Amino acid sequence: MSDVSEARPPVVTPVRVVIALCLVAPFVAMLWVGSYAKTDPAFGGIPFFYWYQMLWVLISTALTMTAYKLWQRDQRARASQKGGASE
């Protein structure tokens, strides 16, 4: 049985909301096809439709990396709170 006086950190925190937004943003951007279903402006002869999607590959990588680092930091903070509370 767990002690009732033991306080648990909240499940939904601002950091976790940022993590979720980082992970959801690429899906929303790619599912909203009407925003990029066009040929102009071309970049180096490549139609907008293609280079926009390739740009999102890089953006998605950066956002996923950011979410991962934030998650690691959040988990370390929770572990230190849990360890600090029991000592």
Q: Could you report the per-residue pLDDT of 2-35, keeping only the tens digit for each?
A: 555 566 778 888 999 999 999 999 999 999 999 8
Q: Which residues touch 43 (CB under 8 Å, ≥6 apart)?
A: 51
The pTM for the full model equals 0.78
Q: Could you report the per-residue pLDDT of 50-86, keeping only the tens digit for each?
A: 999 999 999 999 999 999 999 999 999 888 887 755 4
Dist. CA 53–CA 36, nearest whole Å: 8
Give the largest Cα separation in the chain, rounded: 66
Dist. CA 77–CA 15, nearest whole Å: 11
